[in-house]
Amino acid sequence: MRRLRILTAGLACLAMTASISVAQDIHYSVDNGTGSNTIYEDQIMALPMHEVATSTSVTEGVQQFEGVLMRDLLALMARHVPGETVVVGALNDYEVEIPMEDFIRFDVILAHSMNGTRLTPRDKGPWWIIYPRDDHEELQDIRYDTRWVWQLNRLDIR
- Specify the pTM: 0.81
- The residue-averaged pLDDT of 68-75 equals 93
pLDDT surpasses 70 at 131: yes
The Cα angle at residue 101 between residues 99 and 110, in degrees rounded to 5: 75
d(CA 144, CA 60): 18
DSSP structure string for 49-112: EEEEEEE-SSSSSEEEEEEEEHHHHHHHHHTT---SEEEEEETT--EEEEEHHHHHHS--EEEE
Residue 115 has phi, psi (to 5 degrees) of 55, 40
Q: Which domains does the chain have, with CATH numbers?
A: 23-157 (3.90.420.10)
Neighbouring-strand partners of residue 118: 113
pLDDT digits 0-9 by tens, 22-37:
457 888 877 655 567 8
